[in-house]
Each structure stands twice: as structure tokens, then as C-alpha cells.
Chains A and B, each alone.
Chain A
Amino acid sequence: MSERRNPEFEFRGLNHLALVCRDMRATVHFYRDLLGMPLIKTIDLPAGKGQHFFFDIGNGNSLAFFWFPNAPENVPGVVQPAGFEGGPSAYGSMNHVAIDIPAEKIEEYRQRLIDKGIRVSEIKNHDDSPRQISPEVNETTFVRSIYFQDPDGIRLELAGWVRELTDADVSHAPMDSEGNRAP
């Protein structure tokens, strides 16, 4: 990632990403015991409102899971992509979360997840080719990714940047809600 200064606010990346789980014990097993993320903060919310547990994912960032005794059930396709292969989810939803890894470790980490019994996608090399994904790394590849799911179906990605982003990476006009290109 290139260093680009924000003249307005000194943002230091994510402090925490607050997600919602169905069973905190299954979540602790997955993130701490399988993925190896240290559990660094636990909270019992007052008045029986539930729990809030923070897992360290490096670089000062954490995943902060809520467990609510009265949370609505999951709605795949709305709350998150409908299946393992991804896809749309609703306006205002989180579609997936990508955790940063050293790009040269991606093959090794993929095998380690498989050895732990986790279903993992093939390695996706995202690039600027017409299909935007190639089986091999080429000079336009900007990020290498693998995808899997947590116990609540949350779509997780491990991703490693392989080149700096430049001004040429910003070249599309944004779409409005009607599907028209903004000027």
C-alpha cells in the first residue's frame, strides 16, 4: 500500500471491527485456538446485554465480537454473501473482511488452514486483466487472496499486497444508486 497523507484526520487504520456471533465459545475456539489470534479483552456487558470479546489481529487492530442474548438470526444473502463462493449482500452490510498477511506466506498459510480442517478457496491473484483474477502472479497483480468462513458464515480473507498502488489505480467514475456513472 502506498503512503498517502490525509490532510484532515490522522487515521491509524482500524481500531476494532465489531462483529456479531451466535456462540462466543465457538468463536473463541475458531479465532484464538485455530487462527492463533490472542484474546486481549473480555467484557460482560451490563444488565445482561451480552458479551464483547476482542481478538488481536496485529498492527494495533482487533476483531471485537459481540454476543447478544437476543440477536436476530443470520440472513445469508442479506447480512453476508449467500454462500462459500461470495456474492452480494445488502446495502450497509459488511460483505467480507480481509486480514493482512505477508504475500510470500500465502501458500504456507493456505496449507496450514487446510491442515486445521478449514475449507479454503484456491489462491486468487487479483490483477488488472479483463477477468481481474489470474491463476498466476503477473506484473499487474496487486493483491493475493484466499477465502474461508468463520463459524457464523462470516466471509474471511487473508490478503497480501504485492505492489504499491499508484494514481493509475484510480480510474473509474463512481456509480449512483440508479446505476448511472457520476460525472
Chain B
Amino acid sequence: MNIIGPDALVFGVDDLVACRQYLIDYGLHDAGNGRFEALDGTAVVIRQADDPALPPGLGTASLLRETVYGVADTDTLDAIEAELKRDREVTRRDGVVRCADDMGFALAFQVSVRRPLLLPGERVNAPGAEPQREPNALGLWPDMPARPRSLSHVVYFVPDAAKAEAFYARLGFVCTDRFTGVGPFLRPAGTMDHHTLFMIQTPPFMKGCEHFTFHMGGPTEVLLAGTRFVEKGYQSFWGPGRHKFGSNWFWYFNSPLGCHVEYDADMDLHDDSWAPRDAPMGADASQLFLFQYREKWAPSGPPPAGPSR
């Protein structure tokens, strides 16, 4: 089934004002009506937690209320509807198919709203390779934009990772890599991105969203956007660094949305010839390297006085 990836994540929040400012400062565009968009139109949507139009909550601290998947065409919607109707309640209205997965996460499927992007990725010059930036083209400048481009993936805490994975396999998601006893990285058929969904096995009272992230234009944009976010007073949680599975650069922040919010870039692409790896979860398996923000500093000051005469 030609599912491309998440089009939107819908949250029912405690503090709309705080969440709105957070998402704008993170770099999303306020498109109105609680919708905050990346450059390609993928989005985070925020509503007051008690909004009756929202699907029910998960009964935990998680504020995620719906994951909206973008699919290629109406044939795919038909196929998803037919498959899911075999064993659960499914609705279809105004072009949106809705149901809940086997863990109780509310899902929606629609023909994707993603707008095609035509933007260069980060361009790098290296000895031995053709220059990627022409002469006099700068790699970095003070007000260089660093805007989230596209909603990349969401990570769930789930009480039964094997059962949860089996549900998504019915929709054509394949495992690209796995943390043993923890959960799978899943890639739907409509993208080559290493994962659009990762699941972590936890006790039932933790069920919910661990984090979500938008793809940036490259590692420099991750570092630049993250630095600007810290300088506005936001709280770094983990990073910057580079993950092992997926090779994506990362930087995670705390948020008022009840989950971490990440900047990521340069994820591996895979096709059906890829054989998934399996590794125990741990610091070495999670990242190749990890750094931490520090205030800007430069070796400077007056020259040493020298020996006294």
C-alpha cells in the first residue's frame, strides 16, 4: 500500500498559547486554525485538550490524539479501508479514512497534502569530489534560513511492540532495523526513508508519543536551528549528534506538547533489497557521536605579558 508517511500529528494540549509560540519558534509556519506547517505542508495541529472534535486520548500523559498519514492516491485509501474493515471499525468521510491501531492510537489516512519541494540540500565541498558549491557561494551566513522541510517520523511508546508491528505490516510497513526487545524502525511502501515510525516497548501507563521530528536541509541546518532554539531559552534534551540506525543527525528538545521535538537531517534511504539489522539498545547503538551545546567562545584576549625584565 502506497503510504508515504505522516502528513500531520494532532495534539490536544493543556496550554495552547505556549504550544503556539513553541511551534513558531521551532520554525513552523502558523497556517491558522491551530495548524503549523513545514515547507512542504506537512504539519503539527494543536487543539485544546477538551475539544470534543478530537479522538479520545490514550489515558496517559501523552497529548497525541491522531496520526494522519498521507497516501499516494484514492486506490491506496480504498485498499487501506478494505484491509482494516476486516477486523475493526473504520469510517470514511470527506476523503479521510479513520480507525485505531491495535494499541489504541487514533489514525487517519488521506491523499497526501504534501507539496512538492524543489530546494537544494546542504552542499559540501570535499577534495576528490566535484565542488557542490560554485566559487564565491558561501556555506553559511548569519541569517541563513533553517526551516523544517517535511514531517519525518513519529515515535510511539507501546505496550506490545510485536503486536503493534504486526498491525503496520498489514499496511505494508517493513522493518528496516530493530533494537532487540525494544522495537522496530518501520518504513511504509511510499517512501525510501529509513523510518517514518519507530516503536519502543514500555509499560502500558507510558503509552503515547515519545517524539516527532521534521527533516531539515542538512546537518548545518540542524545545528543552526537548534542553536537558535537554545538561544531563545528552549531546553535541549539530547544532542546534537548522529544516530547509527538511519544515519540521521539529531537534536531533541523538551516541549509543552508532552513529548520531545526533534530536528533531524540526512536520513538513509532504503529499498526492498535492504536486510534489517538487529542490535541491543544502548548508548553505542543509538549514536555514533554526541555533542552538547555551549555558549559561543573564542580564544582571544590580550597577548601574554611575557617574562618580566
| A is bound by B | no
Point out residues on B near A: beta carbons under 8 Å: none
